[in-house]
Chains A and B, each alone.
Chain A
Amino acid sequence: MKKYLPLYEIFIRSKNGLHHKHVGSLHASDPQMAIMNARDVYTRRQEGISIWVIESKDITASNPTDSDAFYAPAEDKVYRHPTFYKLPDEVKYM
């Protein structure tokens, strides 16, 4: 089965102005079928207006064992947070 139906990761944009968000994965034989399947599996309750699909094998992920080296050093560097700016109310979705 896996040989014929590889796994795809599905990204859905819920409305204009928002970014695509990962919602899950499904099996399909090619990107076109993945989009149709995603429509059927992930947009049944009006969750989205746009779909992106990508074959899971094409995603390169960071290794959990690298956590210490990757993320820990940022812990004590509060000056990197842009908390000194005032955001106007009109700017949504930040």
Chain B
Amino acid sequence: MVNKDLLNYTIQLADDVMILGHRVSEWTGHGPVLEQDIALTNISLDLIGKARNLYQYAAKQEGNGKTEDDYPFKRDAREWTNALLVEQKNGDFAQTIVRQFLFDCYHFYHLKALSKSTDEQMAYIGAKSVKEAKYHLQYSAEWMVRLGDGTEESHSRMQQALGDKIHYFEELFIPTKSESKLLKTGIAPDLSLIREKAYAKLNAVLQESTLSLPEDIFPQQGGRKGNHTEYLGFILAELQYMQKSYPNLTW
């Protein structure tokens, strides 16, 4: 029998990295310098790779001939359960780095905990991806400090980006109903513990970056329930173009 909660949770985790991976991939060929173009593309590939692992796992759980491709290519915006943070625009390099850093703060500690999941497949995916996320966090934290504690221009852009994106941070730590149920059986990690670690990292890096959180933060949420910002529709339009134009097209 399909465990609906585990399935929802698997898709939710996949959606986060699928959308962020797609967003970061938009930099490919447009990076500020060749070195960063490749760095961002590597990160994007890591994220999409993890999304594939999770979608494959979801398809296995669901059976009925489902494949990994059905989830990213055949669902409308309302069916996506990614957090709002990951669908936010790339903007300038500062906006991309701040979005990445906020996600990495959550992602790294989440994967670390997920690698101890009582669900064998989840534990495997967690252990495999945590090495990648460790590098992502190192990369984005490094840029937070470089640009935050850089020139007047880079500092102001980073401060602006932080002010724009921080409102989407808290949503990452709000468990869904399915997640809360899975916590009891040790499949999903405890988000409150991850939140503590993520904030500790965030604060440490902000201090080093000479950046500060805005006084007023208005936590936004809704992504987990399918209520997305205006951007997701545009992402899906591009991501799903081929399947929408030529249904069931294969290579």
Residues of chain A touching chain B, judged by Cβ–Cβ distance below 8 Å, are 1, 5, 26-29, 32-33, 36-37, 39-41, 44
Q: Contact: B42 with A26, CB < 8 Å?
A: no
Are B35 and A41 in contact, with the CB atoms below 8 A?
yes
In the assembled complex, B142 has its CB within 8 A of some CB on chain A? yes
Contact check, B33 vs A41: say whether CB atoms are below 8 A apart.
no
Q: Say whether B2 faces chain A, with CB atoms less than 8 Å apart.
A: no
Instruction: Report chain B residues within 8 Å CB of A36.
Output: 39, 138-139, 142
B42 touches A27 (CB 8 A): no
13 contacts between A and B (CB under 8 A): A1-B33, A5-B33, A26-B34, A27-B34, A27-B35, A36-B39, A36-B142, A37-B36, A37-B39, A39-B135, A41-B34, A41-B38, A41-B39
Interface membership of B74, Cβ < 8 A: no
Known: A29-B146, A33-B146. A40 touches B34 (CB 8 A): no
Q: Are B38 and A40 in contact (CB under 8 A)?
A: yes
Q: Is the CB of B35 within 8 A of A40?
A: yes
The CA of A62 and the CA of B137, in the complex, are separated in Å by 42
Task: Report yes or no: B142 in contact with A32, Cβ–Cβ below 8 A.
Answer: yes
| Residues 7 to 60 of chain B near chain A (Cβ within 8 Å) | 33-36, 38-39, 42
Residues of B within 8 A of A29 (CB): 146
User: Which residues 139-153 of B sit at the A interface, judged by CB distance below 8 A?
Assistant: 139, 142, 146
New A-B contacts (20) at CB < 8 Å, excluding given A27-B33, A36-B138, A37-B35: A1-B33, A5-B33, A26-B34, A27-B34, A28-B35, A32-B142, A33-B142, A33-B146, A36-B39, A36-B139, A37-B36, A37-B39, A39-B135, A40-B38, A40-B39, A40-B42, A41-B35, A41-B38, A44-B38, A44-B42
CB-nearest residue of chain A to B43: A40
| B interface: dominant SS | helix
Chain B residue contacts of A41, Cβ below 8 A: 34-35, 38-39
CA distance in complex: A29, B150 (Å) = 11
User: How many Å lie between the Cα of A44 and that of B35 in the bound state?
Assistant: 12
A60 to B142, CA, bound (A): 31
A28 to B35 Cα, complex, angstroms = 8
Which residues from chain A contact B39 at a C-beta distance below 8 Å? Answer: 36-37, 40-41
Q: How far is the CA of A53 from the CA of B24 in the complex (A)?
A: 27
Q: Which residues of A contact B146 (CB under 8 A)?
A: 29, 33
Contacts of A40 in B (CB 8 A): 35, 38-39, 42
Contacts of A27 in B (CB 8 A): 33-35
Please, which residues of chain A bring their CB within 8 A of the CB of B36?
37
Residues of A with C-beta under 8 A to B135 = 39
With a CB–CB cut-off of 8 A, which chain B residues contact A28? 35
Q: Provide the residues of chain B in CB contact with A26, threshold 8 Å.
A: 34-35
CA A27 to CA B31, docked complex, whole Å: 13
For the complex, give the distance between the alpha carbons of A39 and B46 in Å.
Answer: 14
Nearest CB in chain B: distance from A32 CB, A: 7
| Chain A hits for B138, CB < 8 A | 36
